[in-house]
């Protein structure tokens, strides 16, 4: 379990203060109107939402498990979700169909100026440490948000999703669980591999990405968007993972660090085909009305990833750290 993160504004402070007490001795939580004034991509909203969601994963040290389904906290979480989703619906340009969205992922930018390109070509060890600290907020629970969609699928989509998740969870071998492999990567880079350790260091752009996964996974109504999000992850992973493995080799990182991304080059190339032909096609055969939702999941993930990438590159090219707290 992780400790409660440090607040980043009034709403996240109120959430953390409440969770620090038993539910029956709670202070008053903010109401929905207080959320409408928040930046939908800001630190305060996303730290508050991240904290609420973590109650559905491993929870926090010394936080009462009863908070997970507390009605007042769920009402606040719902208001935060509405604010975030409404902004995404307005800001993200969604292709005309799920197929168009997926086809767009096959074309990498010609300029080669993405984060993985930077890390491969000129990244230093400290850049890779920061990158791993940010990504740890997801990779230490890799595949967990996507598992929630399996009971909401049928037929080919359910079977395909379960097959990919089986690989993500080590195919029955604890030492091969992908979250464990990422913890080994962190240890090789001299980082603390404890779950949630770098929540205070993580940028709001990374919190938003993790929150999108949790939001889509927890709501059956967003099952199509969750499948679109998962497709984005699996389709874009192999080329980026290859560059990251090369970056880690170049800076002399340990074998466990290189192995994590080398493993994803091979595994996700297979997963891409399963997700395309079994999960997405199976879902849309069963529920064709979800086509626009799948496209939204792909596009929203891509848009938030670009925001994170721009934050990292802006900081690193200026010689600045990208994390909020030194790692």
DSSP state of 190: T
Q: What is the mean pLDDT of the chain?
A: 95
CATH says 98-317 is which class? mainly alpha
pTM score, whole prediction: 0.96
Specify whether the backbone of 155 is left (phi greater than 0), alpha (psi in -120 to 50) or beta.
left
Task: For residue 66, name the pLDDT band (cuts at 50, 70, 90).
Answer: very high
Q: Rounded distance, CA 84 to CA 180, Å? A: 31
The pLDDT of residue 110 is above 90: no
> 319 Cβ partners below 8 Å, 6+ apart?
none
- When pLDDT is averaged across residues 304-319 and rounded to a whole number, the result is 98
Do residues 134 and 257 lie in contact, with contact meaning Cβ atoms separated by under 8 Å? no
Q: What angle do CA 43, 233, 146 make, to 5 degrees?
A: 80
DSSP state of 181: H
Q: Tell me: the pLDDT tens digits for 241-258?
A: 999 999 999 999 999 999
- When pLDDT is averaged across residues 26-44 and rounded to a whole number, the result is 93
Instruction: Report H helices in 113-203.
Output: 115-121, 125-139, 144-147, 155-168, 178-188
DSSP state of 2: B
DSSP state of 62: T
> 111 Cβ partners below 8 Å, 6+ apart?
none
DSSP state of 223: H
- When pLDDT is averaged across residues 198-213 and rounded to a whole number, the result is 98
Do residues 6 and 48 lie in contact, with contact meaning Cβ atoms separated by under 8 Å? no
Domain locations in the chain? Answer: 10-91, 98-317
The pLDDT of residue 320 is above 90: yes
- Output Rg (C-alpha) for the chain, integer angstroms: 19
Cα 4 to chain centroid, rounded = 19
pLDDT at 109: 61
Proportion of the chain above pLDDT 90, given as a percent:
90
Structure tokens at 142: 């890799």
pLDDT at 154: 97
Q: Tell me: the pLDDT tens digits for 250-309?
A: 999 999 999 999 988 877 788 889 999 999 999 999 999 999 999 999 999 999 999 999
The pLDDT of residue 111 is above 70: no
Q: Tell me: the pLDDT tens digits for 124-166?
A: 999 999 999 999 999 999 999 999 999 999 999 999 999 999 9
């Amino acid at each position: 379990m992780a400790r409660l993160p440090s607040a980043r504004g009034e709403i996240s402070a109120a959430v953390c203060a409440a969770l620090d007490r038993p539910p029956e001795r709670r202070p008053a939580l903010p109401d929905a109107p207080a959320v409408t004034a928040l930046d939908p991509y800001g630190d305060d909203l996303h730290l508050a939402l991240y904290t609420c969601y973590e109650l559905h994963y491993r929870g926090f040290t010394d936080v009462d498990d009863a908070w997970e389904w507390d009605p007042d906290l769920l009402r606040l979480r719902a208001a935060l979700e509405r604010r975030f989703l409404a902004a995404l619906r307005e800001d993200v340009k969604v292709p005309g169909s799920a197929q168009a969205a997926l086809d767009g992922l096959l074309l990498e930018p010609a300029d080669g100026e993405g984060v993985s390109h930077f890390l491969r070509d000129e990244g230093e060890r400290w850049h890779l440490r920061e990158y791993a600290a940010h990504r740890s907020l997801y990779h230490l629970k890799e595949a967990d948000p996507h598992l929630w969609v399996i009971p909401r699928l049928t037929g080919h989509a359910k079977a395909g999703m379960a097959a990919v998740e089986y690989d993500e969870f080590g195919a029955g071998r604890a030492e091969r669980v992908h979250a464990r492999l990422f913890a080994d990567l962190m240890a090789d880079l001299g980082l603390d591999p404890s779950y949630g350790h770098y929540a205070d260091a993580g940028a709001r752009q990374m919190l938003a990405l993790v929150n999108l996964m949790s939001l889509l996974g927890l709501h059956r109504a967003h099952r199509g968007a969750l499948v679109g999000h998962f497709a984005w992850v699996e389709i874009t992973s192999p080329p980026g993972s290859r560059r990251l493995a090369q970056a880690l080799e170049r800076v002399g990182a340990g074998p466990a660090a290189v192995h994590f991304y080398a493993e994803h080059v091979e595994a996700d190339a297979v997963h891409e085909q399963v997700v395309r032909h079994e999960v997405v096609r199976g879902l849309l055969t069963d529920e064709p009305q979800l086509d626009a939702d799948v496209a939204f999941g792909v596009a929203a993930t891509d848009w938030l990833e670009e925001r994170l990438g721009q934050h990292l590159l802006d900081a690193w090219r200026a010689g600045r750290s990208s994390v909020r707290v030194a790692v």
